[in-house]
A and B are shown apart, each in its own frame.
Chain A
Amino acid sequence: MNPQDKMSLSDSLMLVIRRDWLLAMRRRADVLTTLVFFVMVVSLFPLSMEPDPNVLRKIAPGVVWVAALLASMLSLGRLFSADHADGTLEQMMLAPQPLALLVFGKIVAHWMLSGLPLVLLAPVLGLQFGVPTEGLWVLVAGLLLGTPMLSAIGAIGAALTLGLRGGGVLVSLLVLPLCIPVLIFGAGAVDAVLAAKSAAPNLALLGAALVVSLAAAPWVAAQALRISME
């Protein structure tokens, strides 16, 4: 075999991302379901109360963030389970690249398919709640920094609950408490702007947490996969 036939680390990373993207495109309904769920949860809040514009504006960041959290929990079940069921995960673990790298690829793909659409849709929902423009920007910035973290931390939970009965509920039970800081800083950023304060500290903390979790979570999730595959 020629040396140029071997794949570099970045080639393998791209392969995993492209593969998950391709598979999702063949099953677009799954991506859409998550998105519709997100919109639906957010829309339920005004219906469950007196739609006072002032109150709605106040609760908007929290509602959007909680809905984003729930929507990404919903899609976590698919992260490894299909690959586990058909044996692809075994082959992934036997790849000559570090497993953490491939897991990182899957996290990136998961975020592009379930996190990014939420980020893009969030301003529209913000407008429904009467959030002013500067608040919308901060909401998007916060979600952009926060949703990859949900995918990364979620990957750990998904790997730990691989192939278990009732894995879907269990994964939320494990992952949601760990995501609380993300929720606090993300929703806090928008709150700060709406209260005419700077959102910078919140966003800086979110950014720092993102760097740390993207560095650590793939490795931890890889260990979890090894445990679960035993």
Chain B
Amino acid sequence: MSEFFDMGGRGLYVWGSYGVVLLVFIIEIWQVRHKRKMILQQLRSMRELGDEE
């Protein structure tokens, strides 16, 4: 197992690559979800203001 993570002494480079990819994907998915949450919230509050009128 440790041999697998060592990658013939190149572990830092290989895992550095795949790790950053994972990180970027997580950030992007979080950002997309966050954006959706914000816009839904905004639309709901717009709707509530509209109902009061």
CB atoms of A and B under 8 A apart anywhere in the complex?
no
